[in-house]
Amino acid sequence: MRSFEPVEIVPGAYQIRLPLPIRNLDHVYVYLFCSGSDNLLIDSGWNSDECFEALSRSLQIIGLPVAELKKVLVSHLHPDHFGLVGRIKKESLKCRIMMHKEEASNIKKNRKEYSALMIRLHEWLRTNGTPQSEVESMLSNSLALARTFDKINVDEVLVGGEVLKVGSRWRFRVLHTPGHTSGTICLLAGAKDDDSSKMFFSGDHILPSITPNISLSPLYTTSEDPLGDYLSSIRSLKAIRASLVLPSHEHVFSNLSKRIREIERHHKFRLQNTLNVLNREDGLKGLTAYETASHLRWHGGGWSKLDPWERRAAVLETLAHLEYLKIRGLVAKVETRTRERKRESETTIYISSKRHEWLREECSEPK
C-alpha cells in the first residue's frame, strides 16, 4: 500500500491524499474539517481496499476513527470522489451523506442499472463516430467499474446556497457549479467571523494546471451545453476572495481569479482549434466527434498514445465543444444513416458553417 501522511493546512483543516488506480492520475485529495466533536469530510476516494486503508490510517493519525465521522459531502458523482461512501456509512451509522440534488437523482440502485447506463453511454459514442472495436474496448473498461459499485443512500440533498456548519468554528457556503458534472459542488470555507482564513474547495471544478473533463453525454442532465454551463460557473466565481484554493488533484494554490482566466483562455483556444480542424479536414462531408477529437492535442499525448478510458473522455469533451459551437451557430449538426455489420445505424457529423476566425483577437495556445 502506498503511504501518504495527512497535511494540516490550517488548524482544524486537513488534506488527505488517497491512491487511485488511474494512469496519469495516481491520487485524489479529500479534505477533513474538525471543530470540537463535529467534523466534515469532503469526498471519500475510490472504492478499493487500498484506498479505504489509506483513509482509515490518515484519520487515525489525525485522531479521528472512521466510526466517528459525522458528515460526508460528495462534491460530484465520479468514482474517485464518492466510492467509499458506502463503506464509511457501514462504519459510522450516524454519518450523514450529502450531495447536490442533480447527482442524487443520477445514483443507480444496483449494478444492473449502472451497467445499463454504461451500455447506453457507449452506444452514444458509437453514434458519434467511435469505431465498434474501440467502443467494445471502452465498454469493457467501464463495465469493470461495476464491480466496485456500492449503493449510496443520501441523507441530505443540496441545491446550492446552503450554509453548512461544523462545530463553532467552520462555516461552508455551498455553490452549485455545473459543467464537470450536472451537480458539481464547490465550497467557500471559513472560520466564523474571520474572512482572512477563507478557503475555497474547488474539487475537480478548478485545478491548478490541468482542466477538468467537460463532457456531453447521457450522464450530463442539466442541459445540452455542459461547456456553456462550465464557463458560466467559473465566471460566477471570479469575485471570490480566498487565501487558498483546495483542489481534488495536483496541489493547493492561490489566486483563483488568475486561474479562471487561464481556463477561459484554454477553452477559447480549444474551440478555435476545433473549428480549424473542421475547416481544414471536412470539405463538404463533415466530421464525427471521434474524427474531430483524433486531430486535437490532448494532455495524455497524441491520439495514438491515449488508452480507451482517455479516448472516451476525449470524444465526450470534443462533443461538448462541438455542441457549444452548434448552439452559437458556428457549426451545423447532421444525422446520417450508415450501414455497419449488415445493419443500418445513425451517425452524427458536424460541419463548420462559417469559414472565418471565430475569435477576433489573436488566440495563441495557452501554456
- In CATH, what number is assigned to the domain containing residue 273? 1.10.10
pLDDT of residue 264: 97
Query: Residue 167: is its pLDDT beyond 70?
Result: yes
Tell me, yes or no, whether 197 and 243 share the same domain.
yes
- DSSP-derived letter for residue 184 is -
Residue 17 lies in a domain: yes
Residue 220 lies in a domain: yes
CATH of the domain at 94: 3.60.15.10
Tell me, yes or no, whether 32 and 162 share the same domain.
yes
Query: Residue 299: is its pLDDT beyond 90?
Result: no
pLDDT of residue 346: 81
Tens-place pLDDT, residues 303-357: 988 988 899 999 999 999 999 999 999 999 998 866 665 566 788 999 987 544 4
Least confident of 81-90, 103-112, 286-295, 321-330: 103-112
Helix axes 226-235, 256-281, angle to 10 degrees: 150
Question: Of 228, 254, 280, which one is at a domain's C-terminal end?
Answer: 254
Tell me, yes or no, whether 200 and 221 share the same domain.
yes
pLDDT of residue 301: 73
Total structural domains in the chain?
2
Distance CA 148, CA 78 (A): 12
Query: Residue 275: is its pLDDT beyond 70?
Result: yes
Burial (CB < 10 A; 0-12, 13-18, 19+), residue 358, is: middle
Tell me, yes or no, whether 196 and 286 share the same domain.
no
pLDDT band at 282 (very low <50, low <70, confident <90, very high): low
pLDDT band at 363 (very low <50, low <70, confident <90, very high): very low
pLDDT band at 286 (very low <50, low <70, confident <90, very high): confident
- Residues in Cβ contact with 218 at an 8 Å cutoff, skipping those fewer than 6 apart: 117, 120, 121, 124
Residue with more model confidence, 346 or 104? 104
What's the chain's average pLDDT? 89
Question: Of 196, 226, 254, which one is at a domain's C-terminal end?
Answer: 254
Tell me, yes or no, whether 199 and 234 share the same domain.
yes
- Residues in Cβ contact with 90 at an 8 Å cutoff, skipping those fewer than 6 apart: none
